[in-house]
């Protein structure tokens, strides 16, 4: 799913052009259009469909490599490409917590790109984006952390089917059902935000200091991860101040003018029955994060609901935005 | 939905017999089978289908009245029946928090029936069962509260469509979607457990002292409310002790031999992907509560997942069990 | 659903501008944004959201009226507007079979606009589009009828939830279910295509002579009506000729350059598992009809599968295209 | 899915006892409860869960073998068991059309068991049940064929997810979608009914003479295959006669008293919105077939809607009933 979303976004991109596609053994040598079933709702670009799938070897005719590889192989393959001088923009989890690898959300921590200056690779670079559930969360937390400081965060997710890849979960299991477990997901949600919100000190990220706890569920939704968030801030905030902080949150100009950057990274919706995956996942072409139902919590300070499109904002879209920023900054 | 579930359970009941059915204006005078569309998966009992629907006036040929009335009318109607000498077993929210009305789950607080001795009605009695999301929660909390004491509980629910009644939520809204709000539900979850777990002192219930916070969501599941629960206990418990407390939890014998009482009120499932609504809502004929995924929480002591069938255990089934207990105890 | 789709399409339209919105009693006097819940996946246009809803009286500040009224009131209201000199573009069923009213699909029967020359109204005009299931069917039949003639057509539909309006069908009924009946739908499918494919003779449409039979089902799909079609032609066709007839089908230039006209009115998909509502309803911005699985039938000549977006191609989109054509032709 | 349904039905069976379970390489040597995930809504029988899975070799400690094997291996394995003297009751498609193998539905063609007298195996026997979509269809056709004769039948199916096995179809593909193709299914529907309704002449079945055509679709329903059927009879029937023929259809007494035989093999439902998978698949404990909406057809004589539970009536339940009949008749 993420691979196809990459192809969809890059096929129509003003700055990037798809010159090669690489995949596993099973697909090598086939035309892309025959190597997979196209699942996106916009038609497959004709030229891209005609590309022949190459092996995942650092001999591809391109400079930037977008990786949506399975974690079982991504670690080594991405390393090899970066070593060979490619700019690797990865959506895989393998290198996210490496000390010299930025875990990047352009609107949140573009300064972390500084890590690249001392990154282990002689020429190439490796940049990752966070887990699909973490990106929306980190974006919603960012303005709160900046202004009031965050002490602790409790998250219960209701995650979409596309997050499980394809074919992913059985249709028999997902119809009329909820699956209360997603392997490895809670650990990522409890760990990645600390690095994302962390501070660059010298060549390192000092992690943000807060406590997180997560429950993850798979629900019968095609796209759009929701989260019920409860949190405690360090300093006292009012409801209107927090909503205003979200509504006025903008990235620095270098980011906010990038092709895929949404006009409003965070959209607060007033109606108490919002956000809903079906209605709001497409806001900002899938790059905006929706927030709603901010209200006091009797155990934490506040509780609210969060929604982001998991394959766009939470995966391929964030990765492409990362690459756009690197190009803009002259890193690529 | 709850009304039909009452009819389904009572049609096949060894102790009770449906002698009258009452409903709103729209249905009065019609045969029951023509007054509604039967939605249960067992066929409608023939005799019951032939009963003529009466108005909700205290002139019904019966002694026990099961009420699944809408909250907009239940308050007054139930009061009138109790006043007239009927035993009113209500699933509606109106009288749940009345000081002289038991908020009853037989396995949890049968002693609260003592309230009836001094209840305001000269002859009749009024007993309520808790909200559909609260019953499963209170049952899972009961053995923990008894042994270790509970300080605070954070609950995020993923509630089934049947909980919204019929026609309830639009199919267009529920397909490929989650609705992050259920009117009035969070308030009930934060309030009712305190009374249920409270202690009878003289003629009153002293509420249990703990803090609760709830987020409620409607998901695309037909039956079966799930909850992601995080909690802190007063005393230190181990994971195995807690699982054992759930597995060994039984009602007092007077309750556990009632026709609708499940052999195991609480079932702990070891597989980390359980409980799931589709697979476990029918356990104990819909009267058992399933628990799974108990694990440490970095913000509370523990977190786990909970499931109960909302129209059986969480509504009509609990109400009928309440009536069974009253009959067994000679109250009816 | 259709009303909102009208607003979505017209808000972004190059030729039309929404100057007034009218609805039933319940909404009059409210701002549009407060009179309904916006269900579309693109945000509501700000200016349109601020318009105050007027009563359905022929005193609206506009020349063209798009009607998605309920059939219970559409008949009289539309008549009154046309009588008062408005150009009424209706999606309602009431006047579809009136002898002097075009039942219009621009790509199929634009010549039927001739009926307007002798239409009963002194100044205003009334044009309708067919039923949401009929439009896609009539479009797929058109090139076959033109080249080989059609003798009989058997249609089984699998229709989307949005076709039932809002709130439409209960979520409890549609989850894990199929409803094998849609009131009045089979009759429309058996009748409307005869007029659409009919021939203008003088001031009348001589209906096309063929036999149709339909079964209609409601399935758990948000948007996109499918149909399994079996048909017998008058003359012998080959599979490749029929596919070619669909692929080369184009409207006359006057139509095919209209803003909402799709580049390809009919798209034949080779993969035997296509068309699918989720993947193909958006083709041509929802205005293309997808066809697939053409194969011989042992009872009829041929069988195939058909898909069209029911609220775009099958309703609001067709109506707007009708209005575009009338403007282009100088009728409006 | 079918394998587990076999285990569920046989665990509670009054005549049969599960003494051995055999499966593919992957499961051999494991306890059954660990070899699969139990998906049924009744709990797995404890004793059966403890059985160790054996290889599919004709050395099992039992006399009757129920086979739900994949068609890729069933042909040879079943043959080998029958050759070795086992009574093989198969749900697989491989031997269904073998001239000396009954394609058995006890209520429809119990006389076909005569084929066993001259079946190729020295001691063992091999009996099959039809495809899951065919069983319900053949049962509904049977009384019509007997009384009026059937000339031709057009069938469009809306089939449930469990029919695709497990994991079967991807949840992403089935949510908000219809898949208009099921490999090999249309061929079976067009062929198997002719053998089932055929006449035993000597040692052979002379196939019933009629024409069938099928379109098959996969819809988002867990269990319960629906079909929209249009048919032409040889002789004139009235609507009430046909409904009466269905309602009075019973198997011969030898069949109708079998443990799994439903009291009513065919149930005609008067409400025009019935049958529905969710409401009627469980009728007769999943062994009854529901029919509704009989009405005249302008292309055929009649059209109606049909529903049967695909893993019970359409697979494991029919197979067990076949075995019951063979035991009753002294064949086993």
Q: Is there a catalytic annotation at residue A228?
A: no
pLDDT at position B300 over 90:
yes
**Active-site annotation holder among C56, C132, C216, C318:** C132
Q: Exposed, middle or buried by CB within 10 Å (0-12, 13-18, 19+), for A60?
A: middle
Contact assessment for residue D22 and residue D56, using Cβ atoms and an 8 Å cutoff: yes
Q: Which of A170, A217, A222 to mutate to test the interface with D (most CBs of D within 10 A)?
A: A170
pLDDT at position C332 over 90:
yes
Residue C110: which pLDDT band, with cuts at 50, 70 and 90?
very high
Residue A41: which pLDDT band, with cuts at 50, 70 and 90?
confident
pLDDT at position C41 over 90:
no
At the second CATH level, the architecture of B132-310 is: 2-Layer Sandwich (3.30)
Which residues make Cβ contacts (< 8 Å) with residue A328, sequence separation at least 6? A254, A258
Rg (CA), chain B: 19
pLDDT tens digits for range A174-223: 999 999 999 999 999 999 999 999 999 999 999 999 999 999 999 999 99
Cβ contact, residue pair C219, D293, below 8 Å: no
Cβ contact, residue pair D180, C226, below 8 Å: yes
Q: Measured between beta carbons, which residues in chain B are less than 8 angstroms from residue C159? A: none
Mean of per-residue pLDDT scores for chain C: 97
pLDDT of residue C123: 94
At the second CATH level, the architecture of A133-309 is: 2-Layer Sandwich (3.30)
**Active-site annotation holder among D95, D112, D225, D309:** D225
Contacting partners of chain D (3+ CB pairs under 8 A): A, B, C
In chain C, residues under CATH classification 3.40.50.720 are 2-131+316-328
Q: How many other CB atoms sit within 10 Å of the CB of residue B116?
A: 20
Which among B112, B315, B96, B322 is positioned nearest to B198, based on CA atoms?
B112
Rounded CA-CA distance B131/B136 in Å is 9
pLDDT of residue D163: 96
Mean pLDDT of A14-32: 96
Percent of chain C with pLDDT over 70: 100
pLDDT at position D161 over 90:
yes
Both tokens of D102, joined, read 């009954």
Q: Which of D36, D38, D41 to mutate to test the interface with B (most CBs of B within 10 A)?
A: D41
What is the number of helices (H) and of strands (E) in chain D? 12, 13
Mean pLDDT of B273-291: 97
Q: Which residues pair with D159 in a beta bridge?
A: D218
DSSP 3-state helix, strand, coil percentages of chain C (rounded to 5)?
35, 20, 40
Q: Which of B156, B185, B220, B276 to mutate to test the interface with A (most CBs of A within 10 A)?
A: B156
> Do β-strands D289-296 and D302-308 pair in parallel, antiparallel, or remain unpaired?
antiparallel
Q: Is there a catalytic annotation at residue D132?
A: yes
**Does the predicted TM-score (pTM) go above 0.95?**
yes
pLDDT of residue D41: 84
Which residues make Cβ contacts (< 8 Å) with residue C133, sequence separation at least 6? C155, C157, C159, C163, C185, C188, C189, C216, C225, C227, C310, C314
The least confident of A36-40, A244-248, B222-226, D78-82 is: A36-40
Both tokens of C322, joined, read 């009708």
Rounded CA-CA distance A113/A193 in Å is 16
pLDDT at position D123 over 90:
yes
DSSP one-letter string for D204-261: EEEPP--EEEEEEEE-S-SS-EEEEEEEEESS---HHHHHHHHHT----HHHHTSTT-
Mean of per-residue pLDDT scores for chain D: 97
pLDDT of residue C102: 98
DSSP one-letter string for B249-294: ----HHHHTSTT--S-SEEEE-STT---HHHHTTGGGGT-EEEEEE
pLDDT of residue D270: 95
Residue D278: which pLDDT band, with cuts at 50, 70 and 90?
very high
Cis link prior to A275 (omega < 30° from 0)? yes
CA quadruple A131, A133, A134, A138: dihedral, nearest 10: 150
**If you measure CA to CA, which chain D residue comes closest to A174?**
D171
Q: What is the DSSP letter of B313?
A: I
Residue B294, min C-alpha distance to chain A (Å)? 11
Rounded CA-CA distance B136/B113 in Å is 20
Both tokens of C54, joined, read 């007027």
Rounded CA-CA distance A141/A149 in Å is 9
Q: Measured between beta carbons, which residues in chain B are less than 8 angstroms from residue C223? A: none
Helix (H) or strand (E) holding D187: helix D185-196
Q: Exposed, middle or buried by CB within 10 Å (0-12, 13-18, 19+), for C246?
A: buried
Mean pLDDT of D95-103: 98
Q: Measured between beta carbons, which residues in chain C are less than 8 angstroms from residue D230? A: 154, 213, 215
Contact assessment for residue B73 and residue B39, using Cβ atoms and an 8 Å cutoff: no
In chain C, residues under CATH classification 3.30.360.10 are 132-309
Q: CA dist A217 to A159, A185, A244, B274, C107, Å?
A: 6, 10, 30, 11, 47
Who among A38, A39, A176 is closest to C175 (CB)? Answer: A176
Mean pLDDT of B183-200: 98
Q: What is the DSSP letter of A179?
A: B
**Active-site annotation holder among B154, B225, B280, B309:** B225
pLDDT tens digits for range B70-79: 999 999 999 9
ipTM: 0.96
Q: Measured between beta carbons, which residues in chain B are less than 8 angstroms from residue C170? A: 166-171
Residue D214, min C-alpha distance to chain B (Å)? 29
- Grouping H, G, I as helix, E, B as strand and the rest as coil, residue A55 is coil
Separation of CA A219 from chain center: 19
Rounded CA-CA distance A45/D248 in Å is 59
pLDDT tens digits for range B81-104: 999 999 999 999 999 999 999 999
pLDDT of residue B89: 98
Cβ contact, residue pair C171, B220, below 8 Å: yes
pLDDT at position B41 over 90:
no
At the second CATH level, the architecture of C132-309 is: 2-Layer Sandwich (3.30)
Which residues make Cβ contacts (< 8 Å) with residue A5, sequence separation at least 6? A40, A311, A312, A315, A316, A317
**If you measure CA to CA, which chain C residue comes closest to B37?**
C173
Q: Measured between beta carbons, which residues in chain B are less than 8 angstroms from residue A213? A: 230, 297-300, 303
- Grouping H, G, I as helix, E, B as strand and the rest as coil, residue D327 is helix
CATH class of D2-131+316-328: alpha beta
């Amino acid at each position: 799913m993420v691979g196809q979303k990459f192809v969809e976004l890059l096929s129509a991109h003003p700055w990037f052009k798809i010159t090669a596609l690489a995949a596993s053994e099973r697909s090598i040598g086939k035309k892309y259009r025959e190597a997979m079933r196209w699942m996106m709702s916009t038609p497959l670009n004709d030229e891209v469909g005609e590309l022949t799938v190459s092996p995942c070897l650092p001999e591809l005719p391109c400079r930037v490599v977008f990786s949506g590889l399975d974690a079982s192989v991504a670690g080594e393959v991405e390393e090899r490409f970066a070593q060979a001088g490619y700019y690797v923009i990865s959506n895989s989890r393998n290198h996210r917590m490496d000390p010299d690898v930025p875990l990047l959300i352009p609107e949140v921590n573009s300064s972390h790109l500084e890590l690249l200056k001392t990154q282990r690779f002689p020429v190439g670079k490796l940049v990752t984006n966070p887990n699909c559930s973490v990106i929306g969360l980190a974006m919603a937390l960012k303005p709160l952390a900046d202004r009031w400081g965050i002490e602790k965060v409790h998250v219960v997710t209701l995650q979409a089917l596309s997050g499980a890849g394809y074919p992913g979960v059985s249709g028999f299991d997902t119809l009329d059902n909820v699956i209360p477990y997603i392997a490895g997901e809670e650990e990522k949600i409890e760990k990645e935000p600390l690095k994302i919100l962390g501070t660059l000190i010298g060549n390192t990220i000092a992690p943000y200091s807060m406590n997180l706890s997560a429950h993850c569920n798979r629900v019968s939704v095609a796209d759009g991860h929701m989260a019920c968030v409860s949190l405690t801030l360090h300093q006292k905030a009012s409801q209107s101040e927090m909503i205003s902080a979200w509504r006025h949150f903008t990235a620095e100009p270098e980011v906010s003018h990038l092709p895929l950057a949404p006009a409003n990274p965070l959209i607060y919706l007033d109606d108490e029955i919002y956000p809903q995956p079906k209605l709001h996942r497409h806001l900002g072409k899938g790059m905006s994060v929706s927030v709603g139902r901010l209200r006091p919590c009797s155990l934490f300070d506040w509780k609210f609901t969060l929604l982001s499109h998991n394959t766009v904002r939470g995966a391929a879209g964030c990765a492409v935005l990362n690459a756009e920023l690197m190009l803009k900054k002259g890193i690529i």
